[in-house]
Amino acid sequence: MFRSISTRISYMVAIIIILSTVVTLFFIDHTLEKDIMNAQGRTARNTIRMGLLYLKEGKQSIDDYRKQAYDNRKSAVKDAMKIFISQLDSYYDLYQSGILTEKEAKEAAYKLARTTRYFNDDYFFIYSEGLLVLAHPDSSLDGKNLSNNKDKKGYVYGPEMKRLGTSESGGFMEITWIRLGSTKPVPKIIFMKPFSKWNWMIGTGIYVDDIEESVKAQGESLINNMRKGFAQIRLAETGRLFIFDSDKKVIVAPLGAGPDFADTINLNTGKTLFHDLKDVGRQGQWKLDYKVRRGDGNEVLKQSFVQFFSPLGWYVASTVPLREIDNPVKSLVFKQGIISFVILIFAFGLIYYFVRKICLPIQNVSQVAFHVSQGDLKEAKNVFLNKIDPDYLRRITSFESFEDSNHKFDEVDHLVKSFHTMLNTLNSLVSQVQQSGKMVTGSALKLGSAIGQLEVAVENQAIATQELGSTSREISATSTELARTMNESTGVAITTADLANQGLLDLGVMSQSMETMRDASGGIFSKLSVINSKAANISSVVTSISKISEQINLLSLNAAIEAEKAGEFGQGFSVVAREIRKLADQTAMSTLDIEKIVAEMLSAVSSGVMEMDKFRKQVDTGVSNVEVMGDGISGVVDQVRSLTPQFEAVNEGMQNQSEGAEQISKAMIQLSETSIQTKDALEEFMSITDQLSTSVDSLEAEVAVFRVENES
């Protein structure tokens, strides 16, 4: 099925656009997905960093609050301790002044320790340097040694208490203890101070559970603020941040998480999600891709980023379904595909329009080339006139050279102009070749007719020459016999008279034969003259054929040049032009052979005419001699008896006549050979003429396939 070049170019461009679009969409899909994943990862990491920064600031704020609260509380404890020790000093001064005994002073001090309260039911106690309880609000402890005693968390606080209680400056320590009248252990700060006057260790404790409760409240407030802040942060569509601690306890759950969120299993590893996130967070790897099963039983691919916050032992992590990252990419690629498809349709239509507009002249020229290859130059001309825009054709053919024009022409314009020029040249060339072929055919027919006539004339000449040769031989034999007879007649007069009478009769016959020979030689002469004239005409015809072959050769050369200009579209005609040139060359060679043969024939015919003219003159002379001889013999017959002495003269004349007859016989033999040669030459010339006619017929057959514009 034929497809136009415009359609093929449009298909090719469409395929290129489709391939480039597919590659672009694939590249966009791959690159965009990668970029969005990276962007999502950066967003998640930055969001987690912001959460960590907020946690750090909150932790710092809580720590500052605790530190400030503890510092204030410790300062108050120190102030209370100063007041208590100052009272002990007053009891010691009373002892020193003798107002109170040592025992009374110490009992008063013990009582003061047991009954004194400050702040939140806080109290003082007195230990010996060996950690023996001397006075304590809890009377059950009086008299006990607390060296190996433990707090409610199992901390053995005795050694540290002894160290601080014997130190000049004293110091603070923290234990977990049960408040008086309560059963719940709470944190407590113990301040120990030595009372060296009686080798005591004075201590006081202040419960800081209120501080811890306040700190805890601030922590809860921090967590609530984190929940509110994380609820406002979105990663993709449903992605959220969440916080869990090292015990896999959810601190801040993501929005929509169920109560079993902490028990979520990573289907890729078979372990809990928090376990895998802890490993990633501890190792600082940030990202974890995992698969979980939703409540409806469907599996979902997700991606998390996690970071460990060591001050609190918390993990801040994100969770985003991967489909929410892929869906925007797929949506964008789909939209891009729709846009690309619309652009492809529009581009294909636009390209097809312009390519068809550009390639339409090429398509028309290809039709012209097809008709030229079929030899239909007339239809090729009609394609130029009917299918190519006349204004366009007039514009590109109005210049001898495109370089001389101010207009811009492309390769298609060159091709159309070249085909138009080639078609006109080819039409003119084929017309001339056809006309020349007709002329050569007519000349060949005439030449064949003339050669036929010449061949008949030569055959007649050969027959006449053979007859004349036979007659000449007979004359020669008769003359020889007559001479012999005249020799014998010299001695026998009577016999001579009889023989003279017989000779007179023979002379009459010879006279008739000489007359016939003269007429035959005249006919031969006239036939040779006609042959000479025809040979001259043949020479002119040969000259015409030579000129025609030169013209054909020149035209075929021009056609080959035009076909070469047309490029591959003129290859078919270039082959025809070469064949025409070969035929022209063969015609020229045949013409040269004919010319050579005609020249040889002219030479032979001219020689034959000359010899025949000479022979004719000799025959005339012989006839005259025969007439004279007839008169002489008549006289001899009348006067033979009286003119016997003259027989010698007659005998001598007969000898001469015999020699002349012999010469005539030789000339006739030569003329017969010349006639045979002429006949052979005519046969060869006839063969060459047949070859010429065959070549002309072949040339006409080759050219006949072309239908030129001026044909009906």
User: What per-residue confidence (pLDDT) applies to 434?
Assistant: 65
User: What per-residue confidence (pLDDT) applies to 91?
Assistant: 93
For residue 327, CA distances in Å to 47, 286, 321, 593 come to: 22, 23, 10, 93
Where are the alpha helices (H) located in 2-153, listed in sequence order? 5-97, 102-115
Q: Which helix (H) or strand (E) holds 315?
A: strand 314-321
Q: Are strands 314-321 and 240-245 parallel, antiparallel or unpaired?
A: antiparallel
| C-alpha neighbours within 13 Å on the C-beta side of residue 540 | 8
Task: Compute the chain's Rg from CA coordinates.
Answer: 74
User: What per-residue confidence (pLDDT) applies to 712?
Assistant: 47
User: What per-residue confidence (pLDDT) applies to 262?
Assistant: 81
Contact 332, 387 (CB under 8 A): no
User: What per-residue confidence (pLDDT) applies to 1?
Assistant: 36
Length of the chain: 712
What CA–CA distance (Å, rounded) separates 47 from 230? 9
List % helix, strand, coil for the chain (3-state, nearest 5).
70, 10, 15
Which pLDDT tens digit goes with each residue over 616-666?
677 677 667 767 766 776 776 676 556 566 656 666 766 776 676 677 667
DSSP string, 46-86: HHHHHHHHHHHHHHHHHHHHHHHHHHHHHHHHHHHHHHHHH
- Domains of the chain, first to last: 5-63+221-334 (3.30.450.20), 67-215 (3.30.450.20), 359-426 (no CATH), 427-704 (1.10.287.950)
User: What per-residue confidence (pLDDT) applies to 436?
Assistant: 67
DSSP string, 184-198: SEEEEEEEEEEETTT
CB within 8 A of 622, min separation 6: which ones? 514, 517, 657, 660, 661, 664
**Spacing of C-alpha 388 from chain mean position:** 31
pTM given for the model = 0.44
Which amino acid belongs to residue 250?
A: V
What CA–CA distance (Å, rounded) separates 131 from 381? 134
120, exposed or middle or buried, with CB in 10 Å at 0-12, 13-18, 19+? exposed
What CA–CA distance (Å, rounded) separates 478 from 518? 18
Contact 682, 601 (CB under 8 A): yes
DSSP string, 638-675: HHTTT-GGGHHHHHHHHHHHHHHHHHHHHHHHHHHHHH
In the beta sheet, which residues pair with residue 250?
244
What CA–CA distance (Å, rounded) separates 274 from 245? 9
Q: Which residue has the tokens 């609190």?
A: 312
Contact 193, 85 (CB under 8 A): yes
For residue 56, CA distances in Å to 44, 285, 312, 346, 474 come to: 18, 21, 9, 59, 160
- Cβ burial 83-97 (10 Å sphere, 16+ → b, else e): ebbebbeebbeebee
**Residues of the chain under the 50 pLDDT cut:** 1-2, 712
Instruction: Dig out the tokens for 53 from the structure.
Output: 């920064």
What CA–CA distance (Å, rounded) separates 640 from 628? 16
Given its phi and psi angles, is residue 199 left (phi above 0), alpha (psi -120 to 50 degrees) or beta?
Answer: left
What CA–CA distance (Å, rounded) separates 380 from 30? 56
Handedness of CA 215, 216, 219, 224 (dihedral sign): negative
Contact 428, 411 (CB under 8 A): no
User: What per-residue confidence (pLDDT) applies to 475?
Assistant: 63
How is residue 692 annotated by DSSP? H
Contact 631, 466 (CB under 8 A): no
